[in-house]
Amino acid sequence: MNNRIKYVIILMVAILIIAPVLYYYMSDNYVSQMNINSSRSNNYSSYFYLNSIPIGEVASYKASCKNIDLTVMMQNPDSYKGQKIIETGQIYNMTINDDGVTEMLLNTPETTNDLTRLFVTYKGTTPYSIGDNIAAYGEEDSFTVYNIKMPFLKSVYIEKT
Amino acid sequence: MRRKNVLIIAVILILVCITSAAAAFLYINVTSDPHIGNSILVMLVDDGGEHEPSIGAADFEFVVQLNNNSDVTNLTPINPHGLYLPNATPAIEMHNVGINQLYLHDTLYDTDLATGAKHAQEIVEDDKGLKTDSVVIIKPQAVDAILTSIGGVTINGTLVTNNSISFLRQEQSVDNISRADAVESMGYAIKDAAKNSSKRSAMIQAITLQYAEGNIIVIPNNLFYKIITTTSMNKLFR
């Protein structure tokens, strides 16, 4: 047999063996499911926080925030979504998640019961602890648990008051 | 010239060896995992409205136990009501609504799915003594697509073709049937429908599509292909 024909046959056999493996790893299903799982996981956790702002931008950011009465926000949390707000209060409970995000419940001046504590998140750790009075600056958003929709604050800067 | 030919053959042989090894590894990995056949925790979640943002509240669970031949040996329904993980705390915002324990119902809220699924497995093991190897999370869209693929099922005289969540809620509130019984009746109706081989193949096609769309999530996520490529799926619906 001509040498060139031999090489062509060997090459075809090699392609036949390689192709299914490559196809499996490059197939839409394989790739899309990997992406779905990782993006879902990230979406659920990243929904709750924003990146903190650089020190140089703090003054202008603070100036752009306004205080909104928590009880007013609770009536329609979605209508304040994305607005820059400042909320003050005493840290009632606090936790630092495995991913380094700080989450706290704040007793605000409007707090009268469990439902009227403000949920505040911060991407990173803070030097503050339970009982401290703070001012949190950030954007309003909402979450729902047990069909109850509530406002929360994705803070980008927190200071002691 | 001769040396060049030898070199080409050597390169091709090396490529063939590498590819064969990869194919063998893949085959072994896909078909012979001992964990496939043992025990799977299936979590049915709601449409996401109860907990947002979230894949959904875990409204109902059941454990599917298989023997080494992938035959279903036991199916245990689990009502999540009141089941919680004693040593864990829920997401802090749950405290606002008076929830101070990590309930099975809430395991998939405000967490990555792998962690949530692990918590769910721990709760089921602690409370029911059922150790599971993997978790399958099913959204209502997937159940609806499966029902549509087989032309619906008749449950207690009602033809259910989609909107499974509404039907289950109606069974509980109007017909006063427990959640466990409502889900179980739908599960068995689907299983019965799948005895028809053409419906079974349509159903498996729908399941594969729903998995690709993210409405069925399997943890660990490479297990889906293992289940599909073994006989488990066929036997489950027989």
pLDDT in tens, A76-126: 999 999 999 999 999 999 999 888 899 999 999 999 998 899 999 999 999
Which residues in A lie closer than 8 A to residue B112 (C-beta atoms)? 41-42, 44-45
Residue A56: predicted pLDDT: 95
- DSSP reduced 3-state for A138: strand
CB-CB under 8 Å, A41 with B110: no
Taking the whole predicted model, whether its pTM rises above 0.90 is answered as: no
- Domain around A22: 3-46
Nearest CB neighbour to A44, from listed B22, B92, B110? B110
Same domain assignment for residues A129 and A74:
yes
Nearest to A93 by CA among A122, A126, A119: A119
Same domain assignment for residues A133 and A91:
yes
- DSSP reduced 3-state for B165: helix
More confident residue, B31 or A131: A131
* Residue A95 token pair: 């936790």
Rounded Cα distance between A158 and B54, Å, is 27
Residue A23's pLDDT band (boundaries 50, 70, 90)?
low
Asked if the model's pLDDT at residue B60 lies above 80, the reply is: yes
A140 touches A77 (CB < 8 A) = yes
CB-CB under 8 Å, A45 with B16: no
Residue A27's pLDDT band (boundaries 50, 70, 90)?
low
Q: What is the mean pLDDT of residues B24-37?
A: 52
Nearest to A43 by CA among B115, B95, B144, B112: B112
Asked if the model's pLDDT at residue A38 lies above 50, the reply is: no
Residue A37: predicted pLDDT: 47
Which of residues A29, A46, A63 is at a domain's end? A46
Asked if the model's pLDDT at residue A35 lies above 50, the reply is: no
Residue B228: predicted pLDDT: 60
Residue B126's pLDDT band (boundaries 50, 70, 90)?
very high
Same domain assignment for residues A138 and A94:
yes
Asked if the model's pLDDT at residue B214 lies above 50, the reply is: yes
| Cα–Cα distances in angstroms (integers) from residue B60 to residues A111, B24, B184, B227, in the given order | 35, 39, 10, 22
Same domain assignment for residues A153 and A106:
yes
Residue A28's pLDDT band (boundaries 50, 70, 90)?
very low
Residues 6+ apart with CB under 8 A from B160: B147, B152, B153, B154, B167, B186, B189
A58 touches A157 (CB < 8 A) = yes
Same domain assignment for residues A35 and A90:
no
Same domain assignment for residues A84 and A138:
yes
Q: What is the rounded end-to-end Cα distance, in angstroms, of chain A?
A: 90
Same domain assignment for residues A36 and A92:
no
B77 touches B64 (CB < 8 A) = no
* Residue A61 token pair: 């950011």
Residue A41's pLDDT band (boundaries 50, 70, 90)?
very low
B154: exposed, middle or buried (Cβ count in 10 Å: 0-12, 13-18, 19+): exposed
Q: Best residue in A29, A30, A33, A94 to probe B by mutation, most B CBs within 10 Å?
A: A33
Query: Any idea which residue has 């017909």 for tokens?
Result: B175
Same domain assignment for residues A35 and A88:
no
Same domain assignment for residues A75 and A97:
yes
CB-CB under 8 Å, A48 with B49: no
B117 touches B193 (CB < 8 A) = no
Count of domains observed in chain A: 2
More confident residue, A46 or B2: A46
Same domain assignment for residues A14 and A88:
no
Per-residue b or e along B183-195, where b marks 16 or more CB atoms closer than 10 Å to that residue's CB: bbbbbebbbebbe
Rounded Cα distance between A97 and B203, Å, is 40
Evaluate whether the domain defined by B39-236 bears CATH number 3.40.630.190: yes
Residue B227: predicted pLDDT: 63
